[in-house]
Chain A
Amino acid sequence: MTCEEIRTVLSAYLDSELETAKSLEVTSHLEACPPCRDRVCAETRLERGIREKLGCEPVCDKFWSRLEGSLGRAPWRARVVRVGTFVASVAAAVALTATILGTYPRTAGAEDLAGAALREVSEVVPVGNFEPAPGRECHRCPIEMWKSAASRVGRPVRGPRPDEVAPQHRLEAVGIVSAHLGSREVPVAVYRCCGERVCVFVFSLAVLDEFPGARSCLVGAGDAVTHVGGGGGTVALRRLRDVVLVAVGRHDPEGLVRAFRDE
């Protein structure tokens, strides 16, 4: 074997993955070739160094005790943190907007975006008509909308602190619209997430009385998530006690469903 040939199989040799005959050939070459031998030693030291530098991440004990505690719980209870995180992300977006608010930017694009998002919703959601309520203005203050949402479901909606929200779940508030769900009007928060639009509907479970199919879909899924819809859209439903959150979006379906789902 030449020195060049040795270089091509060096990785496999050092990984002890070379077949025996070739491995013996490399060993005998190395015994007779000091430059190659030095190179092997240096490569080994360098890779060991890289390994050590990559392998020094501290392990978080709190994480494991939390995880251990969640094992064996009912699926939806085990994932409460996750759902809380999603709700928190919405709340965090609201809070963040509120802090820079007073003057939420009245961009013309936001309303268009909200309308477009709702049209998307109507394409993929099999329950009801999600057109914005006629004559209803697009509210510009997410915090007000959130208060309104809380009053509709009869209890405060809140989540963990913003710093507990994973970056990929952070939502950017775009605007608020209201939509008809059957005969009722429900608030719809429109957010951006992962560069795409996400609508979050908040309503009490009673709203679904008008939609037997949808209700049985939710009830049938217990407290877990139902992933319905298809084509280019994704719908993730999550029931939290008497509150239903429906996220609809065209962004990364895995991420959206993961935010809600218990497998």
Chain B
Amino acid sequence: MADTGVIANEREKRAQFMALLSPLRERLYRYARHIIRDQSSAEDALQDAILSAYRKFETFQPGTDFRAWVYRFVLNTVLNYNRASRRDLEVPVEPPTLDLFQNLESGFAYDEVLKDPDRFLEQVGDQVRTAFLALRPVEQTVFLLRAIEGFTYREIANLLEIPVGTVMSHLARARAKLRERLAEYAHETGFVRGEA
């Protein structure tokens, strides 16, 4: 009898967990895929995170924000995976650009992009993703949480356990880097010259 009770409770727990998780499935999956390039690694990380969340589901307080609760697990796991992946790949970190002329050029190119962003977006394909992947993990995370997932600065700060000001700094830096990369791409491909 006791066993039956345990099984019933387990079923109920799973049903409740899945009911809350289902609306977030696509978002969580995409988040993991954005941060971890390799599909199977991303799925591994997400699986780890979801299983951890499920095992600690008893600590979730009904009526509170399940999305924020489950994202905490996913963020921690995915960032850990990402750190390891980055070491594996030995991707060199580019130093910040100090070349004044290059900065001026990028600024000019970006202004040109802004003159017709739709046409520019039609031309770029993987470059957006490449530019995104060149960001630091924390910048990728903050950008995704804000731009894709729609978390507020305060929510992101709580999730990552960092001050709101730091969230804003990371976000500003992420956007500036994306902007700079896309401007460089516009410049390289002649988009800017085409406009001139």
Contacts and interface: CB of A to CB of B under 8 A. Distances in A.
Nearest to B127: A53
A92 to B, nearest CB: 13
Interface stretch (B47-55, B63-71, B97-105): B47-55
A154 B83 CA distance: 38
Contacts of B125: 53
A72 interface: yes
B115 to A, nearest CB: 7
A168 B51 contact: no
Interface residue tally on B, bucketed by range: 35 or more
Contact of B47 (A49, A51, A67, A167): A67
A53 B129 contact: yes
Interface string A38-70: 010011011101110111010110011001101
B128 A54 contact: yes
Contacts of A158: none
A49 B121 contact: yes
Contact of B54 (A43, A45, A71): A71
Nearest to B146: A15
Contacts of A258: 48, 80
Contacts of A254: 80, 83-84
Contact of B88 (A15, A53, A167): A167
Interface residue tally on A, bucketed by range: 35 or more
B10 A47 contact: no
Interface in A9-32: 11-12, 15, 17
Interface in B147-190: 147-148, 152-153, 168, 171-172, 175, 178, 182
Interface string A147-161: 000000000000000
Interface in B112-137: 113-115, 117-118, 120-121, 124-125, 128-129, 132
Contacts of B41: 166-168
A5 interface: no
Interface in A149-192: 164-168
Contact of A45 (B55, B117, B171, B178): B117
A59 B29 contact: yes
A17 B153 contact: yes
Nearest to A43: B114
Contacts of A53: 121, 124-125, 128-129
Contacts of A45: 117-118, 121
A241 B117 CA distance: 60
Interface centre among B41, B120, B121, B168 (most CB of A within 10 A): B121
Contact of B51 (A55, A63, A71, A195): A71
Interface string A218-234: 00000000000000000
Nearest to A61: B25
Nearest to B124: A53
A263 interface: yes
Contacts of B40: 164-167
A45 B147 CA distance: 13
B146 to A, nearest CB: 6
B100 to A, nearest CB: 18
Given A71-B17, A258-B48, A57 B85 contact: no
A227 to B, nearest CB: 15
Nearest to A12: B168
Given A59-B26, A71-B51, A72-B13, 8 more contacts: A15-B146, A17-B153, A46-B121, A50-B128, A53-B121, A63-B47, A168-B84, A252-B84
Interface of B: 10-11, 13-14, 17-18, 25-26, 29-30, 33-34, 38-41, 43-44, 46-48, 50-52, 54-55, 80-81, 83-85, 87-88, 90, 113-115, 117-118, 120-121, 124-125, 128-129, 132, 144, 146-148, 152-153, 168, 171-172, 175, 178, 182
4 A-B pairs with least C-beta separation: A49-B121, A42-B114, A46-B117, A53-B128
